[in-house]
Structure 1
Amino acid sequence: MKRFVAAVAALATVWSAPSPAAARPAPPPAAEHGWVTSTLRHMSLEQKVGQLFSTYVYGSDATSPSAADRSANLAAFGVETPAQVVDRFHLGGVVYFAWSHNLDNVRQIATLSNGLQTAALGEGGKDDVPLLISTDQEQGLVQRMPAPSAQFPGSMALGAARSPAAARLAAEITGRELGAVGIRQPYAPVADVNVNPANPVIGVRSFGADPALVADLTAAQVAGFEQGAQVTSVAKHFPGHGDTATDSHTGLPVISHTREQWETIDAPAFRAAIAAGIDSIMTAHIVVPALDPSGDPATLSPAIITGVLREQFGFQGVVVTDALNMAGVREKYGDARVPVLALKAGADQLLMPPNLQLAYDAVLNAVRGGELTEQRIDESVRRILSVKFRQGLAGSPYVDADAAVASVGSAAHLAAVAQVTDQTLTAVRNDAGLLPLAGADRSVLVTGWNNAAFNPIGRLAGGFTARGSRTTALPATLPSASAIAAAAAQAAQHDLTVVLVNKAWDTAVGDPRASQQQLVAALVATGRPVIVVAVRDPYDIAALPGVSTYLAAYTYTPAAMDTLVRALHGDLSPHGRLPVTIPAATDPATTLYPIGHGLTW
């Protein structure tokens, strides 16, 4: 792995860093300065501290959640409704998730946003502040908006397309749809450079392993979100989460890059985001000894947030922590210390503490006890208020639910999804010349990994059936030995098998994803033609010996399956090129397929 990282650093195009003075924004316009200053002046300390926090709430309606959601809010926050949570803690932001029942459908989301804004604004006085509502909408693997929203391919697929225009278009339409339902802060784009094929948490969420490519597409998406859709994009995860073998949700990763490697590999995308005018950057719960030898995660590191991001890079926007309920930030300090230390390090927005009351009280007590000054709190609140003003929330915090229903998932947006997705599919291997398929009179088995929400197996099988094939759909997600035997028996009775795999390379002890390797081996052993399609990490081919036809789709959205069907039948020539190197499974220093590899027909 060290040799691979060194090679990337040596080959990368070094980003020409703007000086801190060049990156620093001009003074705010008079209207913004006036509203921010007036609002801040009328806020109590309790209200200011509340502005620093952004967290989830349970329920699909601000004031009338279900009985189960009332109980969940009561257990987590001491009150029953989302509106009461906002009011009690003077929240600056709310984060939407499906698991907290915030994202049922377009009209419901818009209505929830309006209800929460009403709770935040109260009487509408000078000390009442609108919410900044957020969600993780990276697209691809990480997307929260339900159908019929535009479901673009994720970052690595866009990296395969190598088109800043496509990346910007995806961000702009995504941002417009989010803004239509009241979500003004998407936690995207991912600016991490995935130079570690075994990375358990980033992978296809990254644009790729080429720092220059990641920088270009990060800047393009910032422009799409901020200038195109006029929402607040959030580049993540500073100072770079792309070379980790530990998931910061469950542990504390350590990045071993030298300062020179970090400057070459990890820093360019964040510099590019700043140069593109990004409003917010998210920190990572990772240790980077070359930047801070203290052993503290970056989220709690003054050397990294203030020293590097603020002073060296000149970033003056909002620094938002990654979720404070993740293990990576909780290992070294208690939950009451983490939010205080994050503020002392230079963070502004404290995301999802595991105990909001404890975190809120800890910050209040730190100010009252003198560990934090109110002036320091004011600095962060001023940045947050400035973003809210620039989003238009000061004057128009509400959205039109009817307009949202009309615009989200519109025909024009879905056409753009298809246009972008068609550029991403990567043909990696076609040794037997099987592709494109000739004729249509064949029996086809579609099997392998499936997803209940998107049903890629069903979508793909339907595409073959529509073209005249006699098709059998047999989902075999993380299959048992009996399921593998059944799939192989079916394959032996069909002219062709298409099998979907998802992270099949992961052979961690006891990991059921390894069964996908056994499934593919059994299908190949039938002697019948087999097409393997990776619907997540393109690295899977290294763990699948004997496969002669292999494509990387990077995602399993309906549009991706439609693109795949057209490409397999020759209606579309694959355009994607690998944005990462695929190393051999037995020797990571040996390259099976280099960055830029891609076949076509």
Structure 2
Amino acid sequence: MLRRIGTAGLLTASLAACGFAADGAPAARPPASQASPTAEPVPSGTPATGGVSTTAPAGDPVRRTLARMSVREKVGQLFMPVVHGTAADTVSGENQARYGAQTPAKVVAKYHLGGVILFPGNVKSVGQVVGLTNGLQKSSDVPLLIGTDQENGLVSRMSAVMTRFPGAAEIGATGRPALARDVARATGAELRAMGVNLDFAPVADVNVDPRNPVIGKRAYGDKPDQVAKMVGAAVKGFDAAGVAATAKHFPGHGDTRVDSHTGLPVVKHTRAEWERLDAPPFRAAIDAGVDAIMTAHIVFPKLDPSGDPATLSKPILTGLLRKELGFKGVISTDALNMAGARVKYDDGEVAVRAVLAGADLLLMPNDLPKQYQAVLKAVESGRVSEARLDQSVTRLLTLKKNRGLLGKAPVVSAAKAAEVVRSAEHRRLAARVR
């Protein structure tokens, strides 16, 4: 995203979660083949793998948490805005401009947020990030997903404090998926040590067009099978570190010459071309158990002739990703302050249409108060059924449970984080890839 969030100038935190715009042992994961009574059915013969399960047996913490939540609290779970500043209890200038005299912690509590995303403006030191994430977690009744874009390489939001690993193109060029796995595991370990439990990585786009202005070296390469192997390995690496991974940008942003931060790209692949060029890395991510998949703000006429971007397309998100590919995890939008998401509809309508299309997590709303109210009103009016809302909240809570985040708010240790972040082992790994 090329617009700054707030009023303090241009070109900072609103570099989107897609690109220019996650302490302790990993939690056990339930079988991915389990399905929720309220989840969309998976057709016979469709793979039932991929990400979090939405099953909530009696006595399960997901079911207990959902049962005690109000509609307002459920709606809040869908949103993941940027937080401004370096401390949970301090009002920064940008926070003042956007929310008035409310600290980040108060914004989390007011809107019952399901998560927040961190950018370079939130990052000064390892100890400071630990203080921020601990403070944010303490402000929420339901533990937060705390995300960031640490792809490594071109998009590395926390590079000020983390090991500088090579980006996807360099790793892909080695032809060694094991390196993709090891770098993802090390990246995830550093993030988790600082209280970040979700990474918007890996990039699953195949860089079909070398003139692509937004993907380029963020992709593992230009060969679908090669990228698929790297993506699957990276997902397993993040999982081993106990951090949620997000494959992006579905259904594939690799063959565009328009940047969706500033416009609305159109991909003219036929369905057969999509199956051959774009689909393999996403299938590999699902097979590897990826926690989340991020949408692309791109029009794909052969998959949906409506002219809506994939982020707002029910045929693409619910029809293709859920029913045909069998993905049961969390569907995250790309950042909703990007131009590609806002060409056809106003901010409130964008948020509602994303939910109706099948999205679970509404990332970086352009106007949180307006978009929160729009979704709330849509539920209260019946335009979005409460059953549909419960599907998304169940998926989000299940992801949190699988990552050890339901129950008592997680607290991370600054001393332990200092041992993990930029460790000698990780620096040696970074050098080995180059």
TM bracket (short chain)? 0.7 to 0.9
> Is the 1:19–1:314 contact (alpha carbons within 8 Å) kept by the matching residues of 2?
no
Partner SS for 1:337:
helix
Q: Against the structure 1 CA distance between its residues 162 and 33, is the aligned structure 2 distance closer, same or farther, given a 3 Å change threshold?
A: farther
> Is the 1:51–1:381 contact (alpha carbons within 8 Å) kept by the matching residues of 2?
yes
Query: How high is the TM-score relative to the length of structure 1?
Result: 0.63
Is 2:384 the partner of 1:378? no
Residue equivalent to 1:415: 428
Greater Cα radius of gyration, structure 1 or 2: 1
Partner SS for 1:266:
helix
1:333-389 CA-to-partner distances (Å, cap 9, x unmatched) read: 111100100000000000011110000000000011110111111110000001111
How far is 1:78 from its partner? Answer: 3.5
1:182-206 CA-to-partner distances (Å, cap 9, x unmatched) read: 1111000000000101100000001
Residue equivalent to 1:400: 413
Return the match for 2:295 from 264, 276, 283.
283
Q: Against the structure 1 CA distance between its residues 288 and 61, is the aligned structure 2 distance closer, same or farther, given a 3 Å change threshold?
A: same
Distance of 1:203 and 1:306 partners within structure 2 = 28
Residue equivalent to 2:361: 349
> Is the 2:53–2:329 contact (alpha carbons within 8 Å) kept by the matching residues of 1?
no
Partner SS for 2:249:
strand
Return the match for 2:70 from 35, 44, 52.
44
Is 2:217 the partner of 1:204? yes
Distance of 1:32 and 1:108 partners within structure 2 = 40
Partner SS for 1:223:
helix
Percent identity of equivalent pairs: 54
Aligned pairs for 1:29-428 (under 5 A) are 34-65=60-91, 69=92, 71-98=93-120, 101-120=121-140, 128-226=141-239, 228-395=240-407, 397-421=410-434
Two-structure CA RMSD over aligned residues (Å): 1.7
Give the letter for the 1:263 counterpart: E
Q: Against the structure 1 CA distance between its residues 181 and 265, is the aligned structure 2 distance closer, same or farther, given a 3 Å change threshold?
A: same
Partner SS for 1:281:
strand
Distance of 2:425 and 2:370 partners within structure 1 = 47
How far is 1:408 from its partner? Answer: 0.3
Partner SS for 1:237:
strand
How far is 1:20 from its partner? Answer: 2.1
Residue equivalent to 2:23: none
Query: How high is the TM-score relative to the length of structure 2?
Result: 0.87
How far is 1:64 from its partner? Answer: 2.5
Q: Against the structure 1 CA distance between its residues 413 and 377, is the aligned structure 2 distance closer, same or farther, given a 3 Å change threshold?
A: same
Partner SS for 1:138:
strand
Partner SS for 1:240:
coil
> Is the 1:225–1:232 contact (alpha carbons within 8 Å) kept by the matching residues of 2?
yes
How far is 1:148 from its partner? Answer: 4.5
Give the letter for the 1:313 counterpart: L
- Of structures 1 and 2, the one scoring higher in RCO (CA 8 A, sep 6+) is 2
1:78-134 CA-to-partner distances (Å, cap 9, x unmatched) read: 342110110111110110011xx21111110011000000001xxxxxxx2000000
Equivalenced residue count is 390
> Is the 1:61–1:111 contact (alpha carbons within 8 Å) kept by the matching residues of 2?
yes
Partner SS for 1:199:
coil
Partner SS for 1:417:
helix
1:148-199 CA-to-partner distances (Å, cap 9, x unmatched) read: 4211111111111110111100000000000000111100000000010110
Give the letter for the 1:50 counterpart: G
Distance of 2:51 and 2:255 partners within structure 1 = 31
Greater mean deviation of Cα atoms: 31-40 or 200-209: 31-40
